[in-house]
C-alpha cells in the first residue's frame, strides 16, 4: 500500500550524512494493514487501536503506584489535580510524538540523531537510557513485591525472576505486533477491573474527590507535597514513551500521502487519548483508594506497597481487596516490561544505529535495574526498596526535558513537518508544557540541594 519512508530532503534535517533510511523497528514496520479511505470509519480507527494502550502502560506502572500511594496517604485527595494535569500533558505530548513518527517516518531518537551534533545526540541517548533504567528499576521492584505478596517469594528472588520477562517479550514479538498489543490490553483490563472493585469497597467522598481535582497553591509552597507531586509527574509523563510512540505508530501500513498521513494522525491521536483517559482513571483510583483507606483512617505514613497490601483488607472490610491490589500490581509490572524493551531497542537503534538481539538488550537493561535492588535489600530492607522506588520516579522526571524539548522543536518546525507542523497556538501551549516541566524540575533540584523536603 505504501512506499518505504524516507527522511524529508529539507535544509532542516542537518547532519544528513549521519541519516539512515532504515525504518524504526524494521521487523514490524508497516506490518499492520489499514483499510482504504472508503472503508467505514470504525474499521480505519480499529486498525490504529493498540499503540495508545501500549504507551498508556507507562502511565500506570509500579512507579505510579509508589507516588500515588504516598500522595494519597499523606495528603488525601489534594494531589488529584496533579494527576489530572500530568495526564493532560501526557495526552498532548503523546499526540505530538505520534505526529512526528507519522509525518517524517522517523522516531524521536532517529530525528535527534539526524538533527543534532554527535555530542548532543550522545548526551540525549545517555539521558534516555537513564530514564529507561529508572523505569526498569520500578518494574523490578513492583514485580518483586507483587510476587512476594502473592506467593511469598523473597524480594531478591522476585527481582532475579523478573529477568525472565525478556523471553516473554521475545515470544510475543515473534507472533506479531498485534499479539503484543492484545496481551497489553488484556492486562490493562485486569488492572482496571481490580481497581473498580477497590473503589466500590473504599466508598470515597465524591465531594472531596471533586475538590481534589481543583489545583491548590499549597502544592508549590509545601516542599514535601511538591516532591511527591513532581514524582507523580515523572511517573506519569514518561520520557521514554515519547520515543516509543513515535516509533510504534509506524507499524501501521497507512498511505504515505498527505491525505493518508492526515487520517493516520487523527486516528492515532484518538487512540492514545482514549487510552490515556484509562490511565488517568487508574492513577486517580490508586490515589483515591489510598486517601479513603489510609489518610481518612489515620494511616498517613503508608508509602510502601507492602504496607498498603497489609492494611487494605482490614480497613476496607473486604477480604479480597489486598489480593486484587497485588494482582493488579503484578499485571502492571509485567505489562511495563513490554514498553521498556521496545523503548530501549528504539533508543539504541535510533541514536547509535546499534542493533542487539532483543533478548540481549532486555537482559542488559534489566540486569542494570536489578543490581541496585540486590544492593539495597540486604542493607536497608523493604523500607529502602520503597525509597528507591520513589527516587526512580524523580529521576524519570529529571530526564523529561531532554525528550520533551527536542520533540516540541521538531513538530514546530515547518521545514521538517511541512503542512503538518503544529499551529502557532498549539506551539505556544506545547512550550508552556515544556517550560512547566523545566520549572518544576529546577525547583525539585533546588529543594534537594538545600536539604529539603
pLDDT digits (tens, 9 = 90+) for 236-257: 677 888 999 999 999 999 998 9
- 2 pLDDT more than 50: no
pLDDT of 14 strictly over 60? no
- Model confidence band, residue 159 (pLDDT cutoffs 50, 70, 90): confident
pLDDT greater at residue 389 or residue 151: 151
**Per-residue pLDDT tens for 84-134?**
998 898 899 999 999 999 999 999 999 999 999 999 999 998 888 888 777
Beta carbons of 288 and 204 less than 8 angstroms apart: yes
pLDDT single digits (tens) 423-435: 999 999 999 988 8
Percent of the chain with pLDDT over 70: 84
Phi/psi of residue 301, each to 5°?
Answer: -105, 15
The string of pLDDT tens digits covering residues 58-80 is 788 777 777 788 888 999 999 99
Digit-coded pLDDT (tens) for 267-300 = 999 999 999 999 899 989 989 999 998 888 877 7
User: pLDDT tens for residues 24-35?
Assistant: 888 888 899 999
**Per-residue confidence (pLDDT) for residue 174, from 0 to 100:** 79
Taking the C-alpha atoms of residue 185 and residue 278, their distance in angstroms, rounded to an integer, is: 11
CB-CB contact of 147 with 330 (8 Å): yes
**pLDDT at 423 (0 to 100):** 93
* Residue 25, pLDDT score: 83
Rounded to 10 degrees, what is the CA torsion of 165, 171, 173, 179? -100
Structural domains in the chain plus CATH codes: 50-449 (1.20.1740.10)
State residue 158's pLDDT score: 83
Tens digits of per-residue pLDDT, 338-386? Answer: 777 778 888 888 888 776 676 676 667 666 666 776 777 676 666 666 6
Q: What does pLDDT average to over the chain?
A: 83
pLDDT band for position 230 (cuts 50, 70, 90):
confident
How far, CA to CA in Å, does 68 sit from each of 59, 207, 287, 319? 12, 19, 5, 22
pLDDT in tens, 34-61: 998 778 889 999 999 999 999 998 788 7
DSSP H/E element including 252: strand 252-253
- Summarised one tens digit per residue, pLDDT across range 190-221 is 999 999 999 999 889 899 999 999 988 888 88
- State yes or no: pLDDT of 5 exceeds 50: no
- Sign of the alpha-carbon dihedral angle for 325, 328, 334, 337: negative
Amino acid at each position: 500500500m505504501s512506499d518505504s519512508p524516507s527522511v524529508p530532503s529539507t535544509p532542516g534535517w542537518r547532519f544528513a550524512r549521519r541519516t539512515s533510511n532504515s525504518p524504526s523497528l524494521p521487523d514490524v514496520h508497516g506490518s499492520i494493514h489499514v483499510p482504504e479511505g472508503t472503508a467505514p470509519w470504525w474499521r480505519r480507527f480499529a486498525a490504529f487501536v493498540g499503540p495508545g494502550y501500549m504507551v498508556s502502560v507507562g502511565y500506570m506502572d509500579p512507579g505510579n503506584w509508589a507516588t500515588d500511594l504516598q500522595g494519597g496517604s499523606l495528603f488525601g485527595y489534594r494531589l488529584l489535580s496533579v494527576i489530572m494535569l500530568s495526564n493532560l500533558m501526557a495526552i498532548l505530548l503523546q499526540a505530538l510524538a505520534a505526529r512526528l513518527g507519522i509525518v517524517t517516518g522517523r522516531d524521536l531518537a532517529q530525528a535527534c540523531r539526524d538533527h543534532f551534533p554527535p555530542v548532543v545526540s550522545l548526551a540525549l541517548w545517555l539521558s534516555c537510557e537513564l530514564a529507561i533504567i529508572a523505569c526498569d528499576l520500578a518494574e523490578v521492584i513492583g514485580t518483586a513485591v507483587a510476587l512476594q505478596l502473592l506467593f511469598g517469594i523473597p524480594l531478591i528472588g522476585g527481582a532475579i525472576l523478573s529477568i525472565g520477562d525478556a523471553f516473554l517479550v521475545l515470544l510475543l514479538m515473534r507472533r506479531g505486533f498485534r499479539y503484543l498489543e492484545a496481551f497489553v490490553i488484556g492486562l490493562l483490563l485486569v488492572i482496571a477491573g481490580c481497581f473498580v472493585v477497590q473503589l466500590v469497597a473504599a466508598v470515597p467522598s465524591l465531594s472531596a474527590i471533586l475538590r481534589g481535582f481543583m489545583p491548590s497553591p499549597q502544592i508549590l509552597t509545601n516542599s514535601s507535597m511538591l516532591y511527591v507531586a513532581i514524582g507523580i509527574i515523572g511517573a506519569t509523563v514518561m520520557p521514554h514513551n515519547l520515543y516509543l510512540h513515535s516509533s510504534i505508530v509506524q507499524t501501521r501500513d497507512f498511505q504515505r500521502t498527505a491525505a493518508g498521513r492526515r487520517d493516520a494522525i487523527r486516528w492515532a491521536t484518538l487512540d492514545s487519548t482514549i487510552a490515556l483517559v484509562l490511565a488517568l482513571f487508574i492513577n486517580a483510583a490508586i490515589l483515591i483508594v489510598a486517601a479513603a483507606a489510609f489518610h481518612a483512617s489515620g494511616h498517613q505514613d503508608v508509602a510502601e506497597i507492602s504496607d498498603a497490601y497489609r492494611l487494605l483488607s482490614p480497613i476496607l472490610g473486604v477480604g479480597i481487596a489486598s489480593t486484587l491490589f497485588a494482582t493488579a500490581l503484578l499485571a502492571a509490572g509485567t505489562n511495563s516490561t513490554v514498553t521498556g524493551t521496545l523503548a530501549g531497542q528504539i533508543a539504541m537503534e535510533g541514536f547509535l544505529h546499534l542493533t542487539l538481539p532483543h533478548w540481549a538488550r532486555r537482559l542488559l537493561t534489566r540486569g542494570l535495574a536489578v543490581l541496585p535492588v540486590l544492593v539495597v535489600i540486604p542493607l536497608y530492607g523493604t523500607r529502602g526498596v520503597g525509597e528507591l522506588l520513589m527516587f526512580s520516579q524523580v529521576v524519570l522526571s529529571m530526564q523529561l526535558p531532554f525528550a520533551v524539548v527536542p520533540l516540541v522543536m521538531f513538530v514546530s518546525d515547518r521545514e521538517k513537518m511541512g503542512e503538518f507542523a503544529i499551529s502557532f497556538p498549539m506551539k505556544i501551549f506545547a512550550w508552556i508544557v515544556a517550560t512547566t516541566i523545566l520549572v518544576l524540575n529546577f525547583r525539585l533540584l533546588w529543594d534537594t540541594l538545600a536539604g529539603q523536603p
